[in-house]
Chains A and B, each alone.
Chain A
């Protein structure tokens, strides 16, 4: 790709990517820390996550302001327009991911004194690991302008959904076994739902990257495997 004749335009676009990368790195970090807080019942780490989320919010505002200013001053066209609009959309998804991580961390604070059922925790851990892997892949796809990589992230979200479905069933069973488990199980269920939502925002980013690179939206409907909204386990 040739460079813009106006060098400052080039620099502004590069700055936009730098901020997105920074924001993406922070989102990854927060999600990892939120899991750590949950697993280790570490209230301090949880509080760190809540604070660090503010950094993401600040970056989101900065990117928004930069995008508005660039549209007003540069009147972007073609791939520049898609780049700038894409950055704006991605920044919204990353901000939401930050919020979801923060929410998981807050739940870690709420259930810090409870004993954690090991198999369920390992289910949550697997979900977070997959969500983190997906997030990393999609941020790479953005940085490398790799539409195929974005497409593969988009397709892989079904795995997170499947994990969520199975965790949902396990948590229901666990609650039925002993009503005293309901408190912690509900928190873990919300935690798992948040991770599933992180996966959805990641696929949004994948769609944006695909549009940014190829200039058209992904055609097929994404396979949605979250069946929990229609699942009921009846008591005996």
Chain B
């Protein structure tokens, strides 16, 4: 039986279907983040659709990475950090005290600026997550997960003959794709990427961008990037952050050809400061 709240939620879903808007995968409402007394993020509200790429852009210190880290509760690990407001994934509050944070982080994978493979074999890097989350029941299961994850990350053909080599011995671009394979091995729904290409050369960057293009068919991807060209290339929606606020969010082509806010315009055309 529906509770009042459920009925209300249903009505919201129907209203969105009626106007053709997809239900957001991730939804933030009035999110504020404080580091001690300092407010790093102010009243951020945004809906992020599934099966697509949302880019966060903005100058250093604007709050984009802080916000990204709220989505898998990475900020919990910083003692002085406090988050208020509401973030939901599939309409479930991720800051609900009853929610298992470890499970949440399996659902919301993360890829960092600097590739950080474990100092273990390529195989173990990918197998670690599924094993601890109990996603495989046999060695054959695990082998299959490792292979399919590496395939999805576009790395399988390069490493299939040396799965026991160390993950840290690969090139930077390969390491980053290994980290993406590691993230997708636990069947996440959302993948957060914090400047995933800033340490890579243009060819490795192009490979990651091609990978993002493939992955967006099945995942909700949120990418923080300092390269506006990258945001323009890989994302369908873009959000511009400035001084802790979300200034403007919209369809990527609109943001980059005809932004509504002067601050967005100044930033993307290189007129800041």
* Contact bitstring B252-273, A, C-beta under 8 A = 1, else 0: 0000111100001110111111
Is A78 in contact with B270, judged by CB distance below 8 angstroms? Answer: no
Residues from chain A with a CB closer than 8 A to the CB of B264 are 78
Residue-by-residue, is A69-97 near B (CB-CB < 8 Å gives 1, otherwise 0)?
00000011111111000000000000000
Contacts of B228 in A (CB 8 A): 75, 77
B229 beta carbon closer than 8 Å to chain A = yes
Contact residues in A for B229 (Cβ distance below 8 Å): 75
Distance between B245 CB and nearest chain A CB, rounded to angstroms: 19
**Which residues of A are found within 8 Å of B271, using beta-carbon distances?**
1-5
Select from chain A the residue with minimum beta-carbon distance to B268.
Answer: A77
B265's nearest neighbour on chain A, judged by CB, is A78
Q: Is B273 a contact of A81 with CB atoms below 8 Å?
A: no
CB distance from B272 to the nearest CB of A (A): 7
A78 touches B268 (CB 8 A): yes
**What secondary structure prevails in chain B residues at the interface with A?**
helix
Q: Is the CB of B270 within 8 A of A79?
A: no
Contact between B266 and A81 (Cβ–Cβ < 8 Å)?
no
**CB within 8 A of A79: which of B265, B272, B273?**
B265
A215 close to B257 (CB less than 8 A): yes
The interface bits of chain B over 119-161 (1 if a CB of A lies within 8 angstroms of the residue's CB, else 0) are 0000000000000000000000000000000000000000000
Which chain B residue shows the least CB distance to A1? B271
Chain B positions 240 through 259: 1 when the CB is less than 8 Å from some CB of chain A, otherwise 0: 00000000000000001111
Cβ contact within 8 Å between A80 and B269: yes
Residues of B within 8 A of A77 (CB): 228, 232, 256-257, 268-269
Is there an interface contact between B258 and A76, defined as CB atoms closer than 8 Å? no
Whether the pair A76, B257 counts as a contact (CB closer than 8 A) is no
Interface class of chain A by DSSP: loop
Contacting residues, chain A, for B268 (C-beta < 8 A): 77-78
Q: Considering only CB atoms and an 8 Å cut-off, how many residues of chain A contact the other chain?
A: 17
Known A77-B228, A78-B265, A79-B265: A215·B258 in contact at CB below 8 Å: yes
A219 at the B interface (CB under 8 A): no
- Give the complex CA separation of A4 and B265 in angstroms: 11
Residues of A contacting B232 in the complex (Cβ-Cβ under 8 angstroms): 77
What's the least CB distance linking A219 to chain B, in Å? 15
| Among candidates B257, B266, B272, B273, residue contacting A82 with C-beta atoms closer than 8 Å | B257
Within 8 A of B (CB), among A1-29: 1-6, 9
Distance in angstroms from B185 CB to nearest chain A CB is 35
Contact of A81 among B257, B270, B272 (CB under 8 A): B257
Q: CB-nearest residue of chain B relative to A80?
A: B269
In the assembled complex, the Cα of A216 lies from the Cα of B273 at a distance in Å of: 28
* Cβ contact of B270, chosen from A1, A9, A216, cutoff 8 A: A9
Q: How long is the Cα–Cα vector from A81 to B257 in the complex, in angstroms?
A: 7
Residues of A within 8 A of B273 (CB): 5
Q: Please provide the chain B residues from 190 to 231 with a CB less than 8 Å away from any CB of chain A in the complex.
A: 228-229
Mask of A211-229 contacts with B, CB within 8 angstroms, 1/0: 0000110000000000000
A:35-72 near B, CB below 8 Å: none
| Cβ-defined contact, A5 with B270, below 8 A | yes
In the docked arrangement, what's the CA distance between A3 and B266, Å? 9
For chain A residues 185-236, which have a beta carbon within 8 Å of chain B? 215-216
Shortest Cβ distance from residue A234 to the other chain B in the assembled complex, whole angstroms:
52
> Are A78 and B258 touching (Cβ within 8 A)?
yes
Instruction: Report the separation of the CA atoms of residues A36 and B129 in the bound assembly, to the nearest whole angstrom.
Output: 83
| Contact status B257-A2, CB under 8 Å | no
Q: How far is the CB of A82 from the nearest CB of chain B, in Å?
A: 7
> How many angstroms between the C-alpha atoms of A215 and B259 in the bound complex?
9
Interface centre among B228, B229, B266 (most CB of A within 10 A): B266
A residues less than 8 Å from B272 (CB atoms): 2, 5
Report chain A residues within 8 Å CB of B258.
78, 82, 215-216
Bound complex: CA A189 to CA B29 (Å): 67
Q: Which residue of B lies closest to A75 (CB)?
A: B229
Rounded to whole angstroms, the CA-CA distance of A81 and B229 in the bound complex is 13
Minimal Cβ-Cβ distance residue in A for B273: A5
Q: How far is the CA of A102 from the CA of B165 in the complex (A)?
A: 73
Q: Which residues of A contact B257 (CB under 8 A)?
A: 77-78, 81-82, 215
In the complex, which residue of chain B has the Cβ closest to the Cβ of A82? B257
- Render A165-198 as a binary contact track against B, CB cut-off 8 A, 1 for contact: 0000000000000000000000000000000000
**5 A-B contacts (beta carbon < 8 Å):** A77-B232, A78-B259, A78-B264, A79-B265, A216-B258
Residue positions of B touching A, CB distance < 8 A: 228-229, 232, 256-259, 264-266, 268-273
Given contacts A4-B269, A75-B228, 7 further A-B contacts (CB under 8 A): A5-B272, A6-B270, A9-B270, A77-B268, A78-B258, A81-B256, A82-B258
Q: Which 3 A-B pairs have the closest CB atoms?
A: A215-B258, A2-B271, A77-B268
